[in-house]
Amino acid sequence: MQILAGVGAPIALVANYLVVAGGGGGSGAADGSGQGAGGAGGLRSSVTATGGGGTLETGFIPVLGVTYTITVGSGGTGGAITASPGNIGGNGTTSSIVGTGVSITTVGGGGGSYQGGTGVTGGSGGGAEGISSTPGAGTTNQGFSGGNHQVSIATPFPGGGGGGAGQVGGNGSGSTSGAGGNGVQVAITGSLVYYAGGGSGGTGSAGTVGAAGLGGGGAGSKSNTAGDAGTANTGGGGGAGTDTGALASAGGAGGSGVVILDAGLVAASTTGSPSLSGTVYTFTGSGSITF
């Protein structure tokens, strides 16, 4: 396809994108219950599907000679083992593409909750702890809310899963902690890949840990081993910790985000060492791109 000549001229091509923020960390335990998991990083996409059940976004028209700044968010820290009521998971940080006429930003995933607290609102919300907390909300068109604790509060007090880009985090039920909300599949690289899954909640040693969300979510804990971290460059939420009295564990960290961009042509220059496959640039760290 013809490219319009001259610096500052728009290119007769559309740049498609996937922007995923860093996932939230799972909560660390110190109160005799399973903790809340981290929510996935917010997801916005102009290919296949976008987050939060939103309408698929439209790509942007790049401008020759303009530099677009790429920010890739980091995952939130997992909550440490502390004195009661525990330690909330850290929020993930934003990812974005910013340049002339373009500002595409996603919100970091919310950290999981401890006893009496609230899972943090984020791209997707953090899950609730297993006794007396509430889940965090997701961001419209980016992700879903975290899961709650079981309705009838009883041992082993399973916590809620973190929200994912494609699904609400699961509630604790019986002795099983809430599953992480699944992410969404996006085919910007040519293959369908899940991104932005929530972590699963923690539960007591006699319980069962729910499944981590598809798209890099980390599994929760039911022992003195920390919850699993979310997978790097997926925006997955961290798995939650637990505390059964004799056993206590920290929450897992959230996974870092990713920015993938395809304008149908090779860029004039980049920074940040993105990988290149055909005309698809994958940024696993912050940088820039100029067409």
- Enclosing domain of residue 88: 23-291
Residue 194 falls inside a structural domain: yes
Calculate ∠ Cα 219-168-41, nearest 5°: 65
Residue 10 domain-assigned (yes or no):
no
Looking at the domain assignment, is residue 138 inside a domain?
yes
- Is 161 inside any structural domain? yes
Cα–Cα–Cα angle for 217, 251, 53, rounded to 5 degrees: 35
Question: What's the structural domain count of the chain?
Answer: 1
* Bridge partners for 262 per DSSP: 16, 280
Q: How many angstroms separate the CA atoms of 258 and 273, rounded?
A: 13
3-state secondary structure of 51: helix
Specify the pLDDT at position 83.
64
With 50 as the cut, is the pLDDT of residue 123 above it? yes
Lowest mean pLDDT among 67-71, 78-82, 196-200, 242-246: 242-246
Q: What percentage of the chain reaches a pLDDT higher than 90?
A: 73
| In contact, 125 and 102? CB cutoff 8 Å | no
State the pTM of this model.
0.94
Total Cβ atoms within 10 A of residue 82 = 16
Mean pLDDT of the chain: 91
In a domain, 206, yes or no: yes
Residue 83 lies in a domain: yes
User: What pLDDT is attached to residue 3?
Assistant: 41
Say if 3 falls within a structural domain: no
Q: Is residue 4 part of a domain?
A: no
